[in-house]
Amino acid sequence: MTETVFTYAAPALKFGSGASAEIGHDLGSYGARRVILVTDAGVAATGHPARIADQVRATGIEVTIFDRAHVEPTDESLQEAIDFARDAGPFDAVVAVGGGSSIDTAKAVNLLTTNPGELLDYINAPVGKAQAPTHRLLPLIAVPTTTGTGSESTTICVLDVLALKVKTGISHPALRPTLAVVDPALTATQPTMVTAAAGMDILCHALESYTARWFGDFDAKRPEQRVPYCGANPVSDMWSERSMGLLAGSFRRAVAGGPGDGDEQRLVREEMALAATFAGLGFGNAGVHVPHANAYPIAGRVRDYRPAGYPDDEAIVPHGMAVSLTAPEAFRFTFDAAPERHLRAARLLDPAAEGSGPDVLPDVLSRLMRDIGIPNGLAEVGYVDADVDVLVEGALKQQRLLATAPKEVTPDDLAGVFRGSMEHW
Ligand SMILES: NC(=O)c1ccc[n+]([C@@H]2O[C@H](COP(=O)([O-])OP(=O)(O)OC[C@H]3O[C@@H](n4cnc5c(N)ncnc54)[C@H](O)[C@@H]3O)[C@@H](O)[C@H]2O)c1
């Protein structure tokens, strides 16, 4: 029997310039007295976390800052944050100020300071034991400073397991933040490449959830089998479509304008923040598929690529960039499963896009990537044809994501997508 039910869940949302000044009041409404604020060094340098901490302290709440979240968290970096919080606690609420890296670190801190055991107990199988938390988590307020991941709305924490060279996650509804505070003013200092890469993450969230397998095409689930990601559905479609419309108007301008908060940039950043929020509310329920599955090995097996705007002490293919690098080919591959959706998405992203074949959406994506300074394919970040087998092997480990693709994905299909993504223009 096929599925007849879809689900939708989201955190409470406070959106707008100045929203981050009210966090003390919000924490007070949860009865919080002692909170931990999680951020990373780059975000700490902007002064936003210290300002938010001072505003919270002014309401009589004690704040301890942890400012060493790792950009793209690892099992080791999450453990360091958890150890810090276990030593400095107990706390009665958690605040995350930063991009997906800080928000995901805060989710792990929240889980492992309220529940017994270790990280591996909760990490998705087969890498970990995929246990569900048995104790209630603390209220978590997530305050994104990038326009990207949507992590402030989602149930997942993404991490790199260093010994296995594999990216995976922890996924449970209890991880979803209690309140998302989206204050576009905080994103004005985003480096240009962070705006570009995180923006491609927004775009792929919207596109992948819009083209995901329809919820009614899955086998019927029992109530206890329901997962947060249930496939494309009428509610997630609405958020995805709106997100793509906003990106069409603001993405190129946000990157070209660079950091800053002139009137024009303020408007554009607000639209990008709305686009990120909408896409997060969509994909956080529908799920993502091939480009995200491919991103895991692309990021996990990086050799020496170091993009501007990110810490330069380590090689990194930032998440949003890694997701985008195979997106044009992935959507050429999925086109025949839902041509009308691929074409509608292409025209939402570029109303001038013409044609009706499988190349329309890939061409829209390639033009955009070139215009905003994303590398021209896998070759530019250091991959060669001889890497394809290992990239396919890594993507195949993401079965949860591949199962959300609108058609079956074989190892040969993935190899074709990786090979076709070495150079886009
Ligand atoms: N949990 C989820 O639902 C989810 C979804 C997508 C991605 N992710 C994860 O999120 C991470 C990527 O997050 P991201 O793209 O938001 O970036 P990020 O948090 O990794 O930050 C990228 C860089 O930008 C800097 N930065 C962030 N905001 C800034 C600001 N306002 N001003 C100046 N510098 C700023 C950071 O210091 C860092 O150097 C990856 O680990 C990815 O796997 C999680």
| CA atoms within 13 Å, Cβ hemisphere of 318 | 28
State pLDDT tens for residues 179-191: 999 999 999 999 9
Per-residue confidence band for 259, with pLDDT thresholds at 50, 70 and 90: confident
**The pLDDT of residue 127:** 86
Residue 291 pLDDT greater than 90, yes or no: yes
Verdict on whether the full-model pTM lies above 0.85: yes
> What is the atom index within ligand 1 of the atom nearest the CA of 198?
15
The rounded percent of the chain whose pLDDT value lies above 70 is 100
State pLDDT tens for residues 108-128: 999 999 999 999 999 988 889
**The pLDDT of residue 125:** 85
State pLDDT tens for residues 64-118: 999 999 999 999 999 999 999 999 999 999 999 999 999 999 999 999 999 999 9
Query: What is the rounded CA–CA span in Å between residue 425 and residue 420?
Result: 11
State pLDDT tens for residues 392-409: 999 998 888 999 999 999
278 in Cβ contact with 147 (< 8 Å): no
Quote the mean pLDDT of the chain. 96
Atom 5 of ligand 1, residue of closest alpha carbon: 149
Between the CA of residue 66 and those of 146, 283, 397, what are the distances in Å? 19, 29, 32
Give the mutation target among 71, 193, 292, 314 for probing the ligand 1 site: most ligand atoms within 8 A of CB: 71
**The pLDDT of residue 252:** 98
Per-residue confidence band for 193, with pLDDT thresholds at 50, 70 and 90: very high
* Nearest alpha carbon to residue 82 among 56, 116, 129, 130: 116
**The pLDDT of residue 148:** 95
- Angle at which helix 360-371 crosses helix 234-257, to 10 degrees, equals 30
Query: What is the rounded CA–CA span in Å between residue 95 and residue 35?
Result: 7
Ligand 1 centroid, distance to 154 Cα (angstroms): 14
Residue 423 pLDDT greater than 80, yes or no: yes
**The pLDDT of residue 233:** 96
DSSP assignment of 52-104:
HHHHHHTTT-EEEEE----SS-BHHHHHHHHHHHHHH---SEEEEEESHHHHH
